[in-house]
Structure 1
Amino acid sequence: MNEQGPARPVRAHARRNREKLVTAALEEFTRTGKDAPLDGIARAAGVGIGTLYRHFPTRESLVLAAYEHEVDQLCADAADLLATLPPDRALREFMGRLAGLLVTKQHMSQALRSGGAEESYSKVYDTIDTLFTAGVAAGTLRADMETADVVRAMGGLLRLDVAGDWKGQADRQIRLLMDGLYTGAPARAQGREPERQE
């Protein structure tokens, strides 16, 4: 029993160090891009470079951890969206936030495109499923589509022109997708127009 006593504080300390590294990496990657010096990230986290490499043996593993943290937060926030907005508007807002994440964190979106972020993809997929299913149940979104169709149609958000008017591009693409999801929805058939967000 005495042998196992110190192990828990060590694990808690290691977990805190990992969290500090991810937080510092997010700030540095956002500020200077994915090539931010790793020793600077370690310094900002208040740990040595050796600690960084123990947690993240490669730059790619640190980028992926930072991306996963952002996705976790985005998906967690979706519950609040659904609690405060009609389901169709919650889905639209989630898509807009996802587009913003993918554009402003280009280095992270590359991890998703490369297939190295299966768990994050699953979380995003499940979140879209929850929002879309709620919209179908509310009658504001068409019921003859599947979540996979919505996710495939959102694929263009990975190809926004970050050097151009990406917000305008994202908004047009999301409006086009939402118009398709509104078509044939029971609420529309009954003359109740879904509340649209301009």
Structure 2
Amino acid sequence: MEACCEEFFRLSPADKAAFYSEDADRPNRLFSSTTYGTGGERYWRDCLRLACPFPADDAARDAWPDKPGRLRSAVEAFVAPARGVGMELLRLLCEGMGLRPDYFDGALSGGDVVVNVNHYPPCPDPERALGLPPHCDRNLITLLLQGGVPGLQVSYRGDWIRVQPVPGAFVVNFGHQLEVQAATRCQW
């Protein structure tokens, strides 16, 4: 999956142009954050976003880029086990919170698995660039495969802590949906 995505970002601009869109309502697209400024800094990343229904169907595959040739099969082979890991983590979380194991099954965890592949091109002035601004994930759970690019930080008790990349490991982020569900279900 990583190799296919790296290959996608190495394609010529002409090969990627048809997939490029700033339309946030378009579920499958390539977009760039290099144009948004904040306090003199710029968000410096390209993102390939793919909506993956589970299980993937022909219509979904046809909406993904056709180059590189093996990208569609790599995405499909990645999504099923990654979704399985996420669902197992949610079941374990339910157990720890005293909820029935299938509490998050169904509509709350259903729908598309969204794959965001971030690419950070070389920046001429890295001191003035951010990959992404500070944010909270709005979904239920995010599995983040960092790759070899350092820079991820998490906020903990008011401090920003660097997360060192661990090859082949996921960073698990619980998003706003989980926070809201847990708060309404449990008294912290």
Q: TM-score, normalised by structure 2?
A: 0.33
Higher strand share: 2
Q: TM-score, normalised by structure 1?
A: 0.32
If you compute each CA radius of gyration, which structure gives the higher value, 1 or 2? 1
